[in-house]
Amino acid sequence: MERQTRPCIPEVSISDDKMSAKMKLTLNEEGSKWTVEELKNLIISKNVKTGIMESSICDVLDNEIYDIAIEIARGKEPVPGKDGYYVYHVAMPEVEDTPKELEDGTVQYVKTASHTVVDEGDLLAEYVQATNGEYGYTVDNTMLPPKRGKDLPRLKGKGFSIEENRYIASTHGMVEITERGFRITNLLEVSGNVDINYGHIDFDGDVNIRGDVKSGMNVKATGNIEITGHVGNCQIEAGKNIVVHNGMQGKFAGKLVAGGDIECKFFENSQAVAKGNINVRSVMNSQLEAEGKVTVEGKDSVVLGGSVHAVQGMELSEAGNETEIETLLVAGALPDTLRRDAELRGLIQKVEGEVDLLDRSAKVLERMTNTNITKETNVRRMKIIQAKVIKSAELKKYQLEKVRSEALIHSGKDASVVIQKVIFPGCHVEIAGTGVEVRQEMKHVKFVLRDGIIEAALLY
| Distances from the Cα of 322 to the Cα of 308, 316, 328, 441, angstroms | 19, 17, 16, 9
Residue 368 is predicted with a pLDDT of 66
Residues of the chain with pLDDT under 70: 1, 92-114, 368-375
- Report long-range pairs for 333-337 (Cβ below 8 Å, ≥24 apart): 333/408, 333/409, 333/412, 333/413, 333/432, 333/433, 334/309, 334/433, 335/433, 337/405, 337/408, 337/409
E runs forming strands in 102-194: 107-108, 112-113, 117-118, 123-128, 136-137, 143-144, 156-158, 160-163, 166-169, 173-177, 181-185, 187-190
Residues 8-41 have pLDDT tens digits of 999 999 999 999 999 999 999 999 999 999 999 9
**Residues 261/277, Cβ–Cβ less than 8 Å:** yes
Residue 109 is predicted with a pLDDT of 45
User: The pTM is what?
Assistant: 0.67
Alpha helices by DSSP H, listed for 373-452, are 375-411
Residue 362 is predicted with a pLDDT of 78
Residues 258-297 have pLDDT tens digits of 999 999 999 999 999 999 999 999 999 999 999 999 999 8
**Cα dihedral value 28, 32, 37, 38, nearest 10:** -110
- Specify the length of the chain in residues: 460
**Residues 303/285, Cβ–Cβ less than 8 Å:** no
E runs forming strands in 269-365: 271-274, 278-290, 294-296, 302-310, 314-319, 327-331
